[in-house]
Amino acid sequence: MEFSRRISALRPSAIREILKAPTDPETVSLAAGNPSPEAFPAAEMAVIAAEIFANDAAGALQYGISEGYGPLRERTRERVRVKHGIGRAGDDLIITSGAQQAVELAAKALLNEGDTVICEDPSFIGSLNALRSYGVKLVGVPCGGAGMDLDGLERAFREHPEAKMVYTIPTFQNPTGEVMPLAARKRLLELAAKYDAAVLEDDPYRELRYDGEDVPAIKSMDTEGRVIYAGSFSKIVAPGIRLGFALAPAPLIAKMTAAKQVSDVHSNLFFQILVERYMARHDLDAHIARCRDLYRTRRDVMDAALKRHMPGVRWRVPEGGLFLWIELPGGIDGTDFCRRAKERKVMAVPGSAFLTDEGGFSGAARLNFSLPSPEQIETGVSRLGETYLEMTSP
Amino acid sequence: MEFSRRISALRPSAIREILKAPTDPETVSLAAGNPSPEAFPAAEMAVIAAEIFANDAAGALQYGISEGYGPLRERTRERVRVKHGIGRAGDDLIITSGAQQAVELAAKALLNEGDTVICEDPSFIGSLNALRSYGVKLVGVPCGGAGMDLDGLERAFREHPEAKMVYTIPTFQNPTGEVMPLAARKRLLELAAKYDAAVLEDDPYRELRYDGEDVPAIKSMDTEGRVIYAGSFSKIVAPGIRLGFALAPAPLIAKMTAAKQVSDVHSNLFFQILVERYMARHDLDAHIARCRDLYRTRRDVMDAALKRHMPGVRWRVPEGGLFLWIELPGGIDGTDFCRRAKERKVMAVPGSAFLTDEGGFSGAARLNFSLPSPEQIETGVSRLGETYLEMTSP
């Protein structure tokens, strides 16, 4: 069989080999993007699930509508409006199978083959591949410590005034952990307006802030209906249930709903009902506060371990999210570093995995601190330190 | 915002207006495609769900892999191999979010914009729209009482030798309920080989047979690795959980897995585990036998009601599936018929909804007998009879 051009463009990368499940049970993985199972409200969910089976199974197991379970849509919309100032008259919300699907549906509804999308470089590989899967041309703008560099964005627009979209993770960016400051967000929106581009704001980590002050979402400043906001229940409830959402101007949500209908008809209805009842009955913010405490501790353990084991390596302590981004000195290849680290029984993701240029060089690696225990973090980072020492010893 | 060409091609149709939820609670719907909630094994599922929450929540609520939960993939593969003779060395299986996603992923992985796909005419609107959403050109071949007319398929191939795929629902076709005989299946496969086209066999109703003998799946005769087989748990377990599968040559499944990864990462893992345990612990075939009894009765009630209330209208009693297809005499417009029927508090789907030519004429309508109760079927068909009488009275 001959495959489509768009899917042929999704090449399996050398990185996959590094990320394959380790055969050695002693291996510590800092390569995941997973929340901790300790952060799942499983006991509360179990009670609600039993109730749904007892009283509402006929509806919860039946076909639903593509835009999502009405009460969950309303509750989610209300939550982001009150907490984050997101959503105006003219906006609508669709429940998606994770924020991943929000990105994919937005791409499908807005982009033609050959269109240009500007994004951070590095950025989340799942979204880059979703865009690539529609034959889109990616133009990367470096992150300079505070998210996408806005001078770089302006240059990118000048070189590609035809760009249809800016894809950004402004808050606790994946993989760098960086936060785009308020002024930069405003400037991004101005530039998008000037060049008449849509903005896809991917914001799954917003609620996982460990220090500092919230920075308003770009969508909260969107008076023109230019921004598509993608959110997720994966990091605040659980990822295996595959629930997220997109909030955008109603005509676009209608198109994304048509695209969702032909993709999976609707997201798992049982868990849509379950999450709505969880939010109605329990204090989601109190639950998130517990998740923050859990992850803050792990982030601090990782920071301390890096200080002990990896002198000479650079990193910023992220104020939130799941990832810490280390930059290796002296031209060390991040891919080579991660390959050797795996031999020493610790896994990390090489920075090159996140580049818009799939063959590009990166001297960085992404470390996850949410899934491993503090002990595993200590062990893992000490092994990374040994790898680093090996590579830098004369 | 400007929408993509592919999504702009998905036009909302006049039929949507007819199918909108009725405001009148007295309205009987024969317009659904839903199984009956009485056919959901909810009590057994509730027990398993409680066990998963008690013992395995950390894994079941966590991220899974895109190809699906290993034990469910294996059990599904084994089941279709033993029961239907489907799957050979070189084939692989992916768990999808319903058979709808199997169709969409196959389209995404195999078809470029402008490619030609030959399909039955009428056919399932969800699949036709999935194909349209990738800018595919549809060439319809009429159903002649025994599924796709094979002489028509040969003509279609002669006129479109470049066709990349044949999309077919050979067993209890949606909407016609027709079954393609064995000889026609063989000939379809020969024609596909001659013109080097893939075959997408959509088979969600296979297990819901009420009379007659099983006809082997096209996939069971596929020695060349040309057929993609799409199956579903929606009609034998429950649709709201959104689980189905595709079985196809491993290189294609790998591409579909890459496409799924960027679409929804994976299907709801909790219910993948639940369905696997249900299949391991309970007799799925005994459950399906009960569903068959339930639906056979309703089909017979509908047949008897049609005989009483709609003389002059033609239909074949389907040997399985969820639908009965009525053909109105004397050039009556099915869309007009369904619009008037809704005013008389009964809903059916006009045949034009299923045409490859979206503006085409159809003097037919699709009736569903799985969801309404026998009493509702009787009431609904008697109202259809009144509508028909009104339209044929001088």
Tokens 């979206």 correspond to B358
Quote the pLDDT of residue A8: 87
Structure tokens at B273: 């585990």
Per residue in A223-250, pLDDT (tens digit) is 999 999 999 999 999 999 999 999 999 9
Q: Distance of CA B82 to CAs A363, B70, B75, B78, Å?
A: 52, 18, 11, 6
Quote the pLDDT of residue B68: 97
Nearest Cα residue to B52 out of B275, B247, B260: B275
pLDDT higher than threshold 80 for residue B123 = yes
Q: Chain B interface, mutation test: which of A128, A196, A199, A265, most B Cβ atoms within 10 Å?
A: A265
* Domain positions in chain A: 5-41+286-392, 59-281
Cα–Cα dist B121/B388, whole Å? 24
Quote the pLDDT of residue B15: 65
Cα–Cα dist A339/B230, whole Å? 38
- pLDDT-derived band at A143, boundaries 50, 70, 90: very high
Whether the full predicted model's pTM is greater than 0.80, yes or no, is yes
Look up residue A37 and give its DSSP letter: G
Tell me what the pLDDT averaged over chain B comes to. Answer: 95
Closest residue in chain B to residue A12, using alpha carbons only? B258
Structure tokens at A331: 């031209």
Structure tokens at A266: 């609707």
Q: Distance of CA B314 to CAs A363, B145, B303, B325, B330, Å?
A: 72, 12, 11, 8, 11
Other CB atoms within 10 Å distance of the CB of residue B369: 28
- pLDDT-derived band at A17, boundaries 50, 70, 90: low
Q: Which whole number is the average pLDDT over B260-286?
A: 97
The H-or-E segment that residue A167 falls in is: strand A165-168
Q: Which of B129, B262, B267 has the CB atom closest to A262's CB atom?
A: B129
Quote the pLDDT of residue B182: 98
Q: Which whole number is the average pLDDT over A138-161?
A: 97
Quote the pLDDT of residue A12: 62
- The residue among B369 and B21 whose pLDDT is bigger is B369
Q: Which fold has domain A5-41+286-392?
A: Aspartate Aminotransferase, domain 1 (3.90.1150)
- pLDDT-derived band at B10, boundaries 50, 70, 90: confident
Quote the pLDDT of residue A15: 65
Is there a shared CATH topology between the A5-41+286-392 domain and the A59-281 domain? no
pLDDT higher than threshold 80 for residue B263 = yes
Q: Does B170 touch chain A (CB under 8 A)?
A: no
| Residues B135/B136/B140/B141 CA torsion (nearest 10 deg) | -170
Sign of the Cα pseudo-torsion (A140, A144, A148, A149, in order): negative
User: What whole-number percentage of chain A has pLDDT above 90?
Assistant: 93
Closest residue in chain A to residue B225, using alpha carbons only? A1
Quote the pLDDT of residue B13: 60
Give chain B positions within 8 Å (CB) of A240. Answer: 60-64, 268-270
Q: Which of A1, A43, A49 has the CB atom closest to B49's CB atom?
A: A49
Residue type at A108 in one-letter notation: K
Q: Please, which residues have CB within 8 angstroms of residue B365's CB and are 6 or more apart in sequence? A: B325, B326, B328, B334, B337, B338, B348, B349, B350, B351
Q: Which whole number is the average pLDDT over B289-299?
A: 98
Q: Is B32 helix (H, G, I), strand (E, B) or coil?
A: coil
Per residue in A72-83, pLDDT (tens digit) is 999 999 999 999
Nearest Cα residue to A337 out of A31, A12, A32: A31
Quote the pLDDT of residue B276: 98
Cα–Cα dist B324/B369, whole Å? 7
Q: Which of B10, B35, B46 has the CB atom closest to A258's CB atom?
A: B10
Q: Does A14 touch chain B (CB under 8 A)?
A: no
Q: Which whole number is the average pLDDT over A205-214?
A: 97
Q: Which fold has domain A59-281?
A: Aspartate Aminotransferase; domain 2 (3.40.640)
Per residue in B172-210, pLDDT (tens digit) is 999 999 999 999 999 999 999 999 999 999 999 999 999
Q: Which of B45, B54, B239 has the CB atom closest to A63's CB atom?
A: B239
**Given an 8 Å threshold on Cβ–Cβ distance, is A263 in contact with B104?**
yes
Quote the pLDDT of residue B8: 87
Other CB atoms within 10 Å distance of the CB of residue A318: 25
| Residues A307/A310/A311/A313 CA torsion (nearest 10 deg) | -110
Q: Does B95 touch chain A (CB under 8 A)?
A: no
Quote the pLDDT of residue B143: 94
The H-or-E segment that residue A259 falls in is: helix A250-261
pLDDT higher than threshold 70 for residue A16 = no
Give chain A positions within 8 Å (CB) of B51. Answer: none
Secondary structure in 3-state letters for B71-122: HHHHHHHHHHHHHHCCCCCCEEEEEECHHHHHHHHHHHHHCCCCCEEEEEEC
Cα–Cα dist A374/A368, whole Å? 12
